[in-house]
Amino acid sequence: MDLRYAPEDEAFRAQVRTWLEKEAPAHGAPPPGDDWPARRAYDTAWQRVLHDAGFAGLHWPAGFGGRGLPATQQLVYLEEYARASAPYIGVNFVGLMHAGPTLIAEGSDAQRAFHLPRILRGESVWCQGFSEPHAGSDLASLRARAERSGDEYVVTGQKIWSTRAQVADYCELLVRTDASAPKHQGITWLILDMHQPGVTVRPMRTIDGESHFCEVFLDGARVPVENRVGAENDGWRIANVTLRFERGTAFAQHIIGMRSAVLRLAALARSRRSARGTAWDDLRGRIGRISASVEALWSLTQMCVTEAERTGIPSPLGSAVKLRYSELSQEITGLTLRVIGRPILGAGDFAGLRTAEAVRDYLWSFQTTIAAGTSQIQRNLIAQRILGMPKSR
């Protein structure tokens, strides 16, 4: 494997860098954390700017609003994006990172033609309706059911942990369509329109004081049959395609973002006094190891992304990427708090240190070993699907 970029990739890098240096700061600061309508407006407006400049859906098919560029240029773009600290498009993480890619891999032509350009132009926002109160790690136990009524499915049940569902237009929804079949064989993947009477969204408050995710109650919600992705009862296979994107490629931007976080940590350590001189004198070995781990993980991510370009869907290697990403992210944010020391106890910033942000990042990092499948589940998948070990009884 040759991890070096070709001259045309480097030329693309120069173009991206110049554009981002000018445009990213011009978009201004993001709105306050818990103002979701404002966050939606901010994120989708930036998505539109990217789209109009030709930087949306770089590796998505050109026929559906993408650029059809090679994966290497997608990677270069992510490196430059992180370097410029360009706005993070959180509200449409689902649409851009796994619903859109699932439609590219498994959707009908009509679904692709309708949804993909809207996602790329920032016109529609998606959420994920997979987990339920009794179906998280054991997702195939889900109970929300859809019954066929003419040309529609009528959906009843409850979803939970649906990230940013309070501002979503569509939901990638898993439902049970055959209660008598073995649990993995009676599931269907539907595109749910969130703006209808049978859908109630209730935000939940999290440890950082924000409402990142929601409960979604479905009471007779309707989904036209043409909004089914794949065949009826083939939803488990399609859900696994979605999860492969979610674990294998969706975190790429977060992973490359850790490079800047380590540099900030190193600068912070140099500025904080300790008994031996500065925190850097105490911790440089550990920070060096973290930095090497981030670079190794980025190489693994590059492998996953380029492999997905060849095969259409990321491989189970994504579980290893996701697992390591979540561990490193917790290590970096935890060490940052340790270096700051006592000032983290205050509510606001202190002595020029962005303590409030550091505390928020630390608290937020707790979710990384749970979201998109817990670390225990990733370890099971690595054992079974990468190492070929038998399932435990």
Ligand X SMILES: Cc1cc2nc3c(=O)[nH]c(=O)nc-3n(C[C@H](O)[C@H](O)[C@H](O)COP(=O)(O)OP(=O)(O)OC[C@H]3O[C@@H](n4cnc5c(N)ncnc54)[C@H](O)[C@@H]3O)c2cc1C
Interaction site with ligand X (CB under 6 A): 127-131, 136-137, 161-163, 213, 367, 370-371, 373-374, 376-377, 380
Tell me whether residue 142 or residue 269 sits nearer to ligand X (CB atom): 142
Tell me whether residue 118 or residue 322 sits nearer to ligand X (CB atom): 322
Give me the least distance between CB of 124 and ligand X, in Å please. 16
- 122 SS3 class: coil
Token pair of 10 as six digits: 């480097």
Q: Please, is 174 exposed, middle or buried when counting C-beta atoms within 10 Å of its C-beta (0-12, 13-18, 19+)?
A: buried
Q: Work out the angle at residue 337's Cα, subtended by the Cα atoms of residues 335 and 340, and round it to the nearest 5 degrees.
A: 110
Tell me if 220 sits within 8 A of 235, measured CB to CB.
no
Give me the least distance between CB of 169 and ligand X, in Å please. 15
Helix or strand holding residue 340 (H, E)? helix 317-340
Give me the least distance between CB of 127 and ligand X, in Å please. 6
Give me the least distance between CB of 151 and ligand X, in Å please. 27
Give me the least distance between CB of 342 and ligand X, in Å please. 29
Give me the least distance between CB of 160 and ligand X, in Å please. 7
Helix or strand holding residue 349 (H, E)? none
Tell me whether residue 136 or residue 198 sits nearer to ligand X (CB atom): 136
Dist CA 279 CA 277 (whole Å): 7
Tell me whether residue 163 or residue 330 sits nearer to ligand X (CB atom): 163
Tell me if 177 sits within 8 A of 145, measured CB to CB.
yes
Q: Give the active site residue among 132, 172, 246, 307.
A: 246
Tell me if 97 sits within 8 A of 125, measured CB to CB.
no
Q: Establish whether 246 is a catalytic residue.
A: yes
Tell me whether residue 107 or residue 373 sits nearer to ligand X (CB atom): 373
Angle, helices 279-311/252-271, rounded to nearest 10 degrees: 170
Tell me whether residue 20 or residue 191 sits nearer to ligand X (CB atom): 191
Of all residues in the shown chain, the one whose CB is closest to ligand X is 136
Dist CA 24 CA 55 (whole Å): 12
Give me the least distance between CB of 218 and ligand X, in Å please. 13
Q: What is the full DSSP assignment across 157-179?
A: EEEEEEETGGG-SEEEEEEES-T
Tell me whether residue 73 or residue 365 sits nearer to ligand X (CB atom): 365
Tell me if 92 sits within 8 A of 44, measured CB to CB.
yes
Please state the length of the chain.
393
SS (H, E, C) 255-295: HHHHHHHHHHHHHHHHHCEECCEEHHHHHHHHHHHHHHHHH
Active site residues: 246
